[in-house]
Amino acid sequence: MRAKGPAIAAGATGAAAGAAVFLGQYPTMQVYGTTIFRERGAGKRVALTYDDGPNPEQTPRLLDLLERHGAKATFFLIGQWAEREPGLIRETVARGHALGNHTYTHVTMPAHRADTIREELRRCRGAVEASGETFSTVDGAALMRPPYGRRRPGTLRTMREEGYVPVTWSITCYDWRAHTTTRAISRRGKRAREGDIILLHDGSNEEPAADRHKSIEGTQAILEHLGPMGYSFVTVPELVASARA
């Protein structure tokens, strides 16, 4: 009987830890601080967002697809890949898309001290600015997506002090999973409605030229499904502006 106390305490500790992980990673949770994740009042507009590029193999194909459909998107770039592809960054901006910071090496931000987070953000910014481009902004703050969506109060505070606004998402397509299918990706994306932000990937934190053909095929299916329904595809700053209009 004496073991009940420690067991209960351990269970409570585990539950609290699990809750903390959930609150700090689930994209629409706002307990630890506000993020841009959906914009009610945006009308029939959604935002396609792509993490982990620029990807020399996949991003150009994606840019062509988006252009054929008159769609704009937001790309959250990894700094170490951005250093390799300045021309591709310039092309992305020239085609009307938005850019955001996704750290230099795709770190789990809550696992690091503030000085490490600042260095990751600054190195990624430097890599993008070396191309001649800058991150897109909302209310003067640059777009930033925490890797894996993971954040804590201190993480968000550091981001804001560095001049960023955090962006998560409301629709997850799970396109990073090795065994996912184009059909599964597109099925999730087709659920998007007014003001949703869709998470997809044109790259990988592990390989600069990772194969993301299923993400591109899924994007095509989403465009072909939502477009005829009257939806337009806009950047995150455009989505926010339209919701405020």
**Rounded Cα distance, 155 and 145, in Å:** 11
Residue of 189, 198, 194, 185 whose CA lies nearest to 231: 194
Residue 209: partners with Cβ closer than 8 Å, 6 or more residues away:
55, 56, 57, 58
Residue 131: partners with Cβ closer than 8 Å, 6 or more residues away:
82, 86, 87, 89, 90
The kind and range of the H/E element at 123 are helix 114-129
Q: Do 32 and 23 touch, CB atoms closer than 8 A?
A: yes
Catalytic positions, written as ranges: 51, 201
